[in-house]
A and B are shown apart, each in its own frame.
Chain A
Amino acid sequence: EADIYQTPRYLVIGTGKKITLECSQTMGHDKMYWYQQDPGMELHLIHYSYGVNSTEKGDLSSESTVSRIRTEHFPLTLESARPSHTSQYLCASSEFGGGASYEQYFGPGTRLTVT
């Protein structure tokens, strides 16, 4: 069973607010990822990390930022939320190495609505 957690699960917030979506995993995985998921659309990778102090942007341009100060924690921050940020955000983790041979474990997601 995957041990990857996301909080909050649902968030409704006004335009211009700063928000942080939390993601934690207890599996000791080095690699972590943030995906954006919209209905009827493919998942898009927006950030990933190889380990502590490593962060990279994914294929989808995003105004969010991430940090990786601890192995188990990979928070995503929006400095000023806008309605265009309304989406579901999925966090995932995997062991390092072997290309895609290591399974990605996904959290339950945070559904963000910006009004």
Chain B
Amino acid sequence: AQSVTQPDIHITVSEGASLELRCNYSYGATPYLFWYVQSPGQGLQLLLKYFSGDTLVQGIKGFEAEFKRSQSSFNLRKPSVHWSDAAEYFCAVGRNNNDMRFGAGTRLTVKP
């Protein structure tokens, strides 16, 4: 069965510190992989996506993610977190938009 696991429900980092959010998936074939961000009271916004090719993908707002096939992981990283990055982050996998699987989300708090 297809599934997405985000092991960390809540992460707190200091402003300026580096960030890594974890995502593991279970899927029959190599899926398309996505990270979305949701700010309070807003819908989800796409940060980045991986379809094929270079396993390190760059996204908006200074985020990047690395696909590791052997670990079935697609972790999101940012070298220096800004206070405006506080939000909820969702990993998603799928081959079609009507079979996407979303993780339960990781809530990021940024300390001043």
Contacts and interface: CB of A to CB of B under 8 A. Distances in A.
A109 B43 contact: yes
B46 A42 contact: no
Interface stretch (A14-22, A63-71, A78-86, A93-101): A93-101
B42 A100 contact: no
Contact of B100 (A4, A9, A45, A56): A45
Interface residues of B, number: 26
Most chain B beta carbons < 10 A, residue from A2, A94, A99, A109: A99
Interface residues of A, number: 29
A114 interface: no
B51 to A, nearest CB: 6
Interface stretch (B14-22, B69-77, B79-87, B89-97): B89-97
B43 A40 contact: no
Interface in A22-79: 31, 33, 35, 40-43, 45, 48, 56, 58-59
B102 interface: yes
Given A42-B104, A94-B97, A101 B51 contact: yes
Contacts of A4: 43
A93 B76 CA distance: 24
Nearest to A102: B97
Contact of B43 (A94, A101, A108): A108
Contacts of B99: 59
B65 interface: no
Contact of B98 (A56, A105, A106, A109): A56
A100 B104 contact: no
Interface in B9-63: 9, 32, 34, 36, 41-46, 49, 51
